[in-house]
Amino acid sequence: MKSLEILTDEDKQTLEVARISLDEQGKEGKKKLYIESYGCQMNFSDSEIVTSILQENGYATTSLAAEADVILLNTCAIRENAEQKVRHRLTQFTHLKKKKPQMVVGVLGCMAERLKTKFLEEEKIVDVVAGPDAYRDLPNLFNEVDEGQKAINVFLSRDETYADITPVRLHSNGVTAFVSIMRGCDNMCSFCVVPYTRGRERSRDVYSILKECQDLLNEGFREVTLLGQNVDSYKWESEDGSEKVNFAQLLERVALVSPELRVRFSTSHPKDITDEVLYTMKKYENICKYIHLPAQSGNSRILKLMNRTYDRDWYINRIDAIREILGEECAISQDLITGFCTETEEEHQDTLSLMEYVKYDYGYMFAYSERPGTPAAKKLEDDIPEDVKLRRLNEVIAVQRRLSLARNEMAIGQVHKVLVEGFSKRSEDFLCGRNDQNKMVIFPKENYKKGEYVQVLVTECTSGTLLGKAVN
């Protein structure tokens, strides 16, 4: 459960269903693919990989589920609510399947990996189940269905990075793009299913990342977001061992692709983010001064139960380093969980006090949702009543809303460099884009265009948006 009011428009998008919206020319005689994505940015990035693989195998895309030959749902398993959305969506597709029995319905991603064959038993409409490392096998799985069988591949690889796949940019605004730099996760947080649904951590070849960034720049994109479950643990080594690259070094190389290419990254882990990364951010103007640094809790005992491998003092040390090296203007966002197993009122207050100390710009806030198969589900009792979880969540949201407004008010009277992403949702007389701190800025269109950098004087704000006017 997140407070949509304090998230950016891009963040809101990751909480909603994403559908293909592509140029549909040249699809005569081809089977048609319709895909929806749920959950995190990594899932959205994976859907772009899936689309690329299937286009190479003769599929065209469609934005209409009713005309599809293949419907794919790329799923999230991080919370029960996310899984229920998928099940509800499958129910909605039942009537299409009855009208078009040859239609293939597939479930991809984390929910597929978690439930495996059980999904085929529980959801009769589903023909294909494929985990995050099995997307190259989708054409073969579809062939099995054509032969009258259900098909499944949930094999987790220690090597697969899809480094050679050029993603098809779904919902592209032609300005910003995600670039996956690694897959999987080695952090065994007790509440999290990701290590079990995405496998072990492995880093992508540095040169394939740089090539993708250069290609995006050549195509007119002006911003990339480097994606990983824990980008700070990126570590690549050449086959002969002569070259080793850590995340700070990768960040620098991407920044050097062009000063006109903005660079963001997500997500950082408090145990791994280094001063070297922070100094690299400071060195290059085109590396955005924004860090998403999940805390999950402000109490050391709860953090230990969560197996986060840091305590409150360590987290504050990293915050202090960010403020010292990058200054107060660097934006910081959070993930927080309320009502984790055995959390007391005093420990909840520690989370609120941490928020006051950091002064987060915005955040992602949840009431704890027990996930089957996780260490917490096996070893800890989910003993906090739902009404207490929600009350604590609302208190966290209220503090964050106040902090978000206060942080945004600091921008009033300052000029910010904004990369224009398109028209404002409310009026085509206004443009919108993000500043260095990943905050949406809205200003009158005048003669400016999408993809341009514009200097904008901020004149007013809400807790989620900055408003202003372009200045020379």
| 10-residue mean pLDDT series, the chain (472 residues) | 37 44 56 93 93 96 94 91 92 93 95 93 94 97 95 95 93 91 96 93 97 97 96 95 97 98 97 97 98 98 98 98 97 98 98 98 96 95 98 98 98 98 94 97 97 98 97 87
Compute the distance between CA of residue 314 and CA of residue 320 in angstroms, rounded to an integer.
Answer: 10
Structure tokens at 427: 């009026």
**292 within a domain of the structure (yes/no):** yes
Domain count, the chain: 3
Residue 433 CB-half CA count within 13 A: 32
Query: Residue 263's pLDDT is what?
Result: 98
Pair (353, 423) in one structural domain: no
Query: Residue 28's pLDDT is what?
Result: 63
Pair (230, 325) in one structural domain: yes
Task: For residue 55, give the CATH number of its domain.
Answer: 3.40.50.12160
Per the DSSP assignment, residues forming a β-bridge with 337 are 366
What sign results for the dihedral spanned by CA atoms 438, 440, 446, 448? positive
**159 within a domain of the structure (yes/no):** no
Is the CB of residue 26 less than 8 Å from the CB of residue 176? no
**222-57-194-181 Cα dihedral, nearest 10 degrees:** -30
Pair (181, 256) in one structural domain: yes
Compute the distance between CA of residue 103 and CA of residue 120 in angstroms, rounded to an integer.
Answer: 16
Closest CA to 295 of 339, 360, 232: 360
**394 within a domain of the structure (yes/no):** yes
Greatest pairwise CA separation for the chain in angstroms: 66
What sign results for the dihedral spanned by CA atoms 20, 25, 28, 29? negative
Compute the distance between CA of residue 129 and CA of residue 132 in angstroms, rounded to an integer.
Answer: 10
Task: For residue 337, give the CATH number of its domain.
Answer: 3.80.30.20
Query: Residue 189's pLDDT is what?
Result: 97
Compute the distance between CA of residue 341 and CA of residue 380 in angstroms, rounded to an integer.
Answer: 7
Pair (378, 449) in one structural domain: no
Query: Residue 30's pLDDT is what?
Result: 87
**200 within a domain of the structure (yes/no):** yes
**234 within a domain of the structure (yes/no):** yes
Compute the distance between CA of residue 67 and CA of residue 100 in angstroms, rounded to an integer.
Answer: 9
Boundaries of domain holding 234: 176-409
Instruction: Please state the φ and ψ torsions of residue 252, each to the nearest 5 degrees.
Output: -65, -45
Pair (192, 329) in one structural domain: yes
Closest CA to 96 of 32, 141, 49, 156: 32
Pair (401, 457) in one structural domain: no
Instruction: Please state the φ and ψ torsions of residue 462, each to the nearest 5 degrees.
Output: -115, -170
**3-state secondary structure labels for all residues of the chain:** CCCHHHCCHHHHHCCCCEECCCCCCCCCCCEEEEEEECCCHHHHHHHHHHHHHHHHCCEEECCCHHHCCEEEEEECCCCHHHHHHHHHHHHHHHHHHHHCCCCEEEEEHHHHHHHCHHHHHHCCCCCEEECCCCHHHHHHHHHHHHCCCCEEECCCCCCCCCCCCCCCCCCCCCCEEEEECEECCCCCCCCCCHHHHHCCCEECCHHHHHHHHHHHHHCCCCEEEEECCCHHHCEEECCCCCCEEEHHHHHHHHHCCCCCCEEEEECCCCCCCCHHHHHHHHHCCCECCEEECCCECCCHHHHHHCCCCCCHHHHHHHHHHHHHHHCCCCEEEEEEEECCCCCCHHHHHHHHHHHHHHCCCEEEEEECCCCCCCHHHHHCCCCCCHHHHHHHHHHHHHHHHHHHHHHHHCCCCCEEEEEEEEECCCCCCEEEEECCCCCEEEEECCCCCCCCEEEEEEEEECCCEEEEEECC
Per the DSSP assignment, residues forming a β-bridge with 420 are 433
339 burial level (CB within 10 Å; 0-12, 13-18, 19+): buried
Task: Among 122, 153, 184, identify where a domain stops.
Answer: 153
Pair (372, 420) in one structural domain: no
Compute the distance between CA of residue 470 and CA of residue 472 in angstroms, rounded to an integer.
Answer: 7
Pair (372, 235) in one structural domain: yes
Pair (203, 346) in one structural domain: yes
Pair (277, 236) in one structural domain: yes
Task: Among 362, 380, 409, identify where a domain stops.
Answer: 409
Pair (184, 323) in one structural domain: yes
Residue 359 amino acid letter: K
Compute the distance between CA of residue 206 and CA of residue 158 in angstroms, rounded to an integer.
Answer: 17
Pair (380, 268) in one structural domain: yes
**160 within a domain of the structure (yes/no):** no
Q: Name the pTM for this structure.
A: 0.91
Task: For residue 463, give the CATH number of its domain.
Answer: 2.40.50.140
**270-273-278-284 Cα dihedral, nearest 10 degrees:** -120
**164 within a domain of the structure (yes/no):** no
**163 within a domain of the structure (yes/no):** no
Residue 472 amino acid letter: N
Compute the distance between CA of residue 469 and CA of residue 459 in angstroms, rounded to an integer.
Answer: 7
Compute the distance between CA of residue 307 and CA of residue 410 in angstroms, rounded to an integer.
Answer: 36
